[in-house]
Chain A
């Protein structure tokens, strides 16, 4: 009985210590230059632009961000930073220009796509598709 109590105490102590050293990972602020944030999307949301954006999303983004943008792609677990849930207000409240800037420039685990997707129209298509992920 005494041994069981000791074991229980040790497990409890370890659990408390593990919580004590755990910090909740807060996303780092990602400032976007005002000029970029204010850029309007020249591409209208319609079937064609959504389809084009979806094709790009599946090719370049889904492996980390997940097919539905929930941040649950097959590579997400290997990243140092957690991919943002694109369906939530945190992302959807940002301007089109801000989303465009972040796709084009990248940061940390998020690569820059301005060379891989060289035509700005394609990145705007991607922004149009990201808007459809809103829940």
Chain B
């Protein structure tokens, strides 16, 4: 029998989001004050196109689009390739899909909404550029915060664990630190934490509820781009879960792909281990193991409009 165990009292998710956002804006405020105190300093020139789009395979990039950009994303993750021709290496095995919409209303801030068929989840997300790498190297890296709140919108039934609406929510917070080393090479490192308000547990021999997974899971990812030519890059990504759980520890993700970019589109196709389209689901629940060659094909398509 499955038993529910709540840890929400240890980490009120919304409160944490608010605290992080306040920190982000406060830091930016301090920077803004500094710039106004030194009006004679020449206007900073920022490094451009550290990455080509908002996504690098399963991760967000450090990039925040230009103010007024509306982006529509279509993402697919197919089945694992292990079944060979019987399901055409996972392509006909069924896919997780996500539709995403985002808008950049003010400089450095993007707001988004996504919906995926996996557990009928929707999310609201926010991305804010805290620091930007400068051409003069006075700021050697770009730093961006990304956070989301995901809601599982499935109807209650025997397979779901929801009692209250809060049980449906999970959160993901990430700091993305990136550097464009040259016109060809960009790298980023992104520590993150995923929080689930409610997770399945089990009853021990004495009938006490025990957790399988911890409610807070830390991860770190490293991503890179090698630009082969204008508009064409090779991209790679590695995600390493850090938290040790009582059972079902998630497996890391190793992925490699190509990216093609035009004026209004960004297209990525790749192999990897992560099958979900919400970052916290991947970082906490991934059981595809690259050592067992449990890879799958995926793609991300982005269409951009400027208003």
Interface residues of A (CB under 8 A from B): 51, 54-55, 58-60, 63, 115-116, 118
Q: Which among B49, B68, B183, B306 has the greatest number of chain A C-beta atoms within 10 A?
A: B306
Map CB proximity to A onto B238-265 as digits: 1 under 8 Å, 0 otherwise: 0000000000000000000000011100
Further 9 A-B residue pairs, CB within 8 A, beyond A58-B230, A59-B261, A118-B66: A55-B49, A55-B183, A58-B231, A59-B231, A59-B263, A60-B263, A115-B307, A116-B263, A116-B306
Q: Judge whether B262 and A59 touch: CB under 8 Å.
A: yes
A59 vs B49: C-alpha distance in the bound complex, in angstroms? Answer: 11
Report A-chain residues with C-beta under 8 Å of the C-beta of B68.
Answer: 115
Q: Judge whether A54 and B306 touch: CB under 8 Å.
A: no
Q: Does residue B67 face the partner (Cβ distance < 8 Å to A)?
A: yes
A71 vs B306: C-alpha distance in the bound complex, in angstroms? Answer: 25
A59 vs B259: C-alpha distance in the bound complex, in angstroms? Answer: 13
A50 vs B177: C-alpha distance in the bound complex, in angstroms? Answer: 29
CB distance from A55 to the nearest CB of B (A): 5
When C-beta atoms are compared, the residue in chain B nearest to A51 turns out to be B183
When C-beta atoms are compared, the residue in chain B nearest to A55 turns out to be B230
Return the contact of A115 from the options B66, B229, B230, B262 (Cβ within 8 A): B66
A116 vs B70: C-alpha distance in the bound complex, in angstroms? Answer: 11
Give residues of chain B (210-246) contacting chain A, Cβ–Cβ below 8 Å: 229-231
Report B-chain residues with C-beta under 8 Å of the C-beta of A55.
Answer: 49, 183, 230
The A interface, classified by DSSP as helix, strand, loop or mixed, is helix
> Total A-B residue pairs with C-beta atoms closer than 8 Å?
25
Q: Which among B183, B231, B261, B263 has the greatest number of chain A C-beta atoms within 10 A?
A: B263
A58 vs B49: C-alpha distance in the bound complex, in angstroms? Answer: 14
Report A-chain residues with C-beta under 8 Å of the C-beta of B49.
Answer: 55
Report B-chain residues with C-beta under 8 Å of the C-beta of A116.
Answer: 66, 263, 306
Chain A to chain B contacts (Cβ below 8 Å), 8 pairs? A55-B183, A55-B230, A59-B230, A59-B263, A60-B263, A115-B68, A116-B66, A118-B66
A63 vs B264: C-alpha distance in the bound complex, in angstroms? Answer: 11
CB distance from B139 to the nearest CB of A (A): 18
Report A-chain residues with C-beta under 8 Å of the C-beta of B231.
Answer: 58-59
Q: Judge whether A63 and B66 touch: CB under 8 Å.
A: no
Report B-chain residues with C-beta under 8 Å of the C-beta of A59.
Answer: 230-231, 261-263
Q: Judge whether A63 and B230 touch: CB under 8 Å.
A: no
When C-beta atoms are compared, the residue in chain B nearest to A57 turns out to be B230
Report B-chain residues with C-beta under 8 Å of the C-beta of A54.
Answer: 230
A104 vs B306: C-alpha distance in the bound complex, in angstroms? Answer: 13
Report B-chain residues with C-beta under 8 Å of the C-beta of A60.
Answer: 263
A63 vs B262: C-alpha distance in the bound complex, in angstroms? Answer: 8
A34 vs B262: C-alpha distance in the bound complex, in angstroms? Answer: 33
CB distance from A60 to the nearest CB of B (A): 4
CB distance from B78 to the nearest CB of A (A): 28
A99 vs B134: C-alpha distance in the bound complex, in angstroms? Answer: 29
When C-beta atoms are compared, the residue in chain A nearest to B46 turns out to be A119
When C-beta atoms are compared, the residue in chain B nearest to A122 turns out to be B48
CB distance from A16 to the nearest CB of B (A): 43
CB distance from B117 to the nearest CB of A (A): 32
When C-beta atoms are compared, the residue in chain A nearest to B261 turns out to be A59
When C-beta atoms are compared, the residue in chain B nearest to A115 turns out to be B306
CB distance from B56 to the nearest CB of A (A): 18
Give residues of chain B (251-307) contacting chain A, Cβ–Cβ below 8 Å: 261-263, 306-307
